[in-house]
Structure 1
Amino acid sequence: MPPGVAVVGTGFIGPVHVEAVRRLGYTVVGLLGSSPERARPRADELGIARVYSSYAELLADPAAQVVHITTPNRTHFEMARDALLAGKHVVCEKPLAMSADESRALVDLAASRPAQVAAV
């Protein structure tokens, strides 16, 4: 069974990821937006049952084995780092981070966790 995917971000690109994931045969298990109240209408529109109330809740969800990060650029580093540390596979929209040093730190972290997949 393919791993479950959680998408972070409800703007333009988030729904694009939802569609792409589904076309590949994966299940979107949840959606996280800037607030549950703002995410719920988008989740309903996309047919996603679960809306997370926080990133910590998403990372604690064993059904969410892959995290797609489609948030503003300034959030990518911390979110990708935290997802990798939580044992999740990560797909992050570009740019990976806001600086070369942050990007290098994420690349090194991902390389140290060969059982996980990380992609930009």
Structure 2
Amino acid sequence: MTTLALLTTALLFGGMVLYSFGFAAFLFTALPAETAGPTIRRAFPHFYLFVIAGAGLSAAFLAPADPISAAIMATIALSTIPTRQILMPAINAATDAGDKRRFGMLHALSVVITLIHIVAAAYVLHRFIG
């Protein structure tokens, strides 16, 4: 069970880092903005499902051995639901309306949430060596 918890948490951490700092950045440097924007918009729902599922599995695997880490991972999973269901559509609506100010604020919030999730998953990984 501990091995599954470690692997699931590491996969989640790596996936979040790769998506946030690799894939998204790559799209906007490799594709024209009019193609990159809609592509990233289509990818984000899948990213959030990956985070929800990965963090939820990790929480389940961690629960017997490390309730604190399990709670952290469950918090990541649960906080991603409103991010996906409420914040992401609001970001898309601001983009569609051409409201750059609102888009900037909402996008910044989504970035902060993702960074908090990455740091929290890193902390859980650190607990494995502690």
Which bin holds the TM-score, normalised by the shorter protein?
under 0.3
Q: Point out the structure with the larger helix share.
A: 2
Please report the TM-score for the alignment, with normalisation by the length of structure 2.
Answer: 0.25
Please report the TM-score for the alignment, with normalisation by the length of structure 1.
Answer: 0.26
Higher relative contact order (CA 8 A, sep 6+): 2
Q: Point out the structure with the larger strand share.
A: 1
